[in-house]
């Protein structure tokens, strides 16, 4: 290599094969001038950087355009029902459950200086709202809709001698996995109105059962015949348009086809009653429809 001459390394085709060429062989088209090697290197680098910058900008633009198109297509065909479940009146606070009879349960809750888990039959949310309320569509869905259940299972845990979550929603024929995560025996027990009854002993930590329910049913009560304080509810629906209120007392039902629907609520505590058990809502594509329910304590005698 002559003095003052440099070699540049070029990755040909991006496959890792590199070729060294003298920079003196790099010429500007139709130029009668001799370009010093250093200038040639800088010129090549500048052209390369400008080209790569254009490619990066184009790539980002195509990605953003694809996202915008995909989002518009997704929101253009369905809507959302969004709202809150309020509570008006005195707020009775149930005492925590006192576990007894099982050393494993007692040991866990004593270590936390608590008598047991909270009584989840009544849980209030933020700003005078109510938790554990099922909100679901009860009328207006197309009869010929796709009723195939989701492939992902719903999980109901037996952990620390309580059921988690307290309210479970599963679609008809969807897999429900019930786990035992305690070092003690649980005996799951339920008497459905529209589905087969079951009673299953689960003596081993890490054990789980798989249940499927063919028929819709609201408020399937599940208990443990060993630990009498354990209680949960399973709701079985033939559609995915539902939600359960949490700590904020809010709900959101997504991907609802446009149309007019009947929206209903359910809460396990029978001393509470909604002002309206059902309301009518209209869903428009790409928009959020607001809805609200209010619960109160039942008047005496009802």
Task: Tell me, yes or no, whether 64 and 166 share the same domain.
Answer: no
Residue 69 included in any domain: yes
Task: Tell me, yes or no, whether 127 and 67 share the same domain.
Answer: no
Measured in degrees and rounded to the nearest 5, phi and psi for residue 159 equal -145, 135
Task: Tell me, yes or no, whether 67 and 150 share the same domain.
Answer: no
Burial of 222 (0-12, 13-18, 19+ CB in 10 A): buried
Task: Tell me, yes or no, whether 17 and 162 share the same domain.
Answer: no
Length of the chain: 302
The predicted model scores a pTM of: 0.74
Average confidence (pLDDT) per 10 residues, the chain, 302 residues:
42 41 43 44 52 56 54 68 96 89 96 94 94 98 91 97 98 97 96 93 96 97 96 98 97 97 97 96 96 92 68
Residue 102 included in any domain: no
Tracing tokens 């355009």 back to the chain, one arrives at: 65
Q: Which tokens sit at 113? A: 């200086």
Residue 78 included in any domain: no
Q: What is the pLDDT of residue 74?
A: 46
Residue 112 included in any domain: no
User: 123: which residues sit within 8 A by CB, 6+ positions away?
Assistant: 130, 131, 132
Residue 100 included in any domain: no
Task: Tell me, yes or no, whether 134 and 42 share the same domain.
Answer: no
Residue 94 included in any domain: no
β-pairing, 154-159 vs 208-211, is unpaired
Residue 97 included in any domain: no
3-state SS track over 182-223: CCCCEEEEECCCCCCCEEEEECCCCCEEEECCCCCEEEEEEE
Task: Tell me, yes or no, whether 150 and 24 share the same domain.
Answer: no
Residue 98 included in any domain: no
Task: Tell me, yes or no, whether 43 and 182 share the same domain.
Answer: no
Task: Tell me, yes or no, whether 265 and 170 share the same domain.
Answer: yes
- Contact between residue 297 and residue 88 where contact means Cβ atoms under 8 Å apart: no
If one counts the domains in the chain, the total is: 2
Is the omega angle on the peptide bond into residue 138 within 30 degrees of 0, that is, cis? Answer: no
Cα–Cα dist 288/83, whole Å? 10
Task: Tell me, yes or no, whether 181 and 60 share the same domain.
Answer: no
Task: Tell me, yes or no, whether 129 and 188 share the same domain.
Answer: yes
Task: Tell me, yes or no, whether 144 and 235 share the same domain.
Answer: yes
Q: What is the pLDDT of residue 57?
A: 55
Closest CA to 115 of 130, 101, 96, 132: 96
Q: CATH number of the domain at 239, please.
A: 2.60.40.420
Q: How far is CA 82 from CA 10, 21, 46, 69, 186, in A?
A: 58, 65, 54, 24, 38
Task: Tell me, yes or no, whether 48 and 146 share the same domain.
Answer: no
What domain range includes position 50?
A: 7-73
Q: What is the pLDDT of residue 65?
A: 59
Q: What is the pLDDT of residue 11?
A: 39
């Amino acid at each position: 290599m002559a003095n003052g001459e440099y070699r540049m390394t070029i990755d040909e085709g991006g496959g890792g094969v590199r070729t060294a060429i003298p920079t003196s062989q790099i010429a500007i088209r139709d130029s009668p001038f001799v370009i010093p090697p250093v200038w040639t290197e800088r010129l090549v680098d500048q052209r390369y950087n400008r080209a790569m910058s254009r490619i990066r900008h184009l790539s980002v633009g195509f990605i953003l355009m694809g996202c915008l198109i995909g989002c518009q297509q997704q929101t253009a065909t369905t809507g959302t029902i969004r709202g809150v479940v309020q509570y008006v009146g005195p707020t009775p606070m149930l005492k925590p459950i006192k576990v007894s009879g099982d050393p494993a349960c007692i040991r866990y809750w004593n270590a936390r200086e608590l008598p047991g888990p909270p009584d989840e039959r009544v849980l209030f949310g933020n700003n005078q709202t109510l938790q554990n309320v099922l909100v679901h569509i009860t009328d207006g869905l197309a009869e010929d809709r796709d009723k195939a259940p989701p492939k992902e299972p719903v999980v109901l845990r037996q952990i620390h001698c309580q059921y988690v979550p307290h309210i479970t929603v599963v679609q008809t024929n969807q897999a429900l996995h019930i786990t035992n995560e305690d070092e003690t025996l649980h005996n799951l027990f339920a008497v459905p109105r529209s589905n087969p009854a079951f009673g299953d002993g689960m003596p081993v930590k890490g054990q789980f059962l798989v249940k499927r329910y063919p028929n819709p049913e609201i408020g399937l009560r599940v208990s443990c015949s060993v630990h009498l304080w354990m209680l949960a509810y399973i709701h079985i629906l033939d559609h995915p348009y539902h939600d359960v209120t949490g700590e904020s007392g809010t709900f959101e039902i997504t991907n609802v086809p446009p149309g007019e629907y009947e929206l209903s609520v359910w809460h396990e505590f029978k001393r509470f009653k909604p002002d309206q058990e059902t309301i009518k809502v209209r869903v428009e594509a790409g928009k959020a429809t607001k809805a609200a329910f209010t619960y109160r304590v039942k008047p005496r005698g009802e």
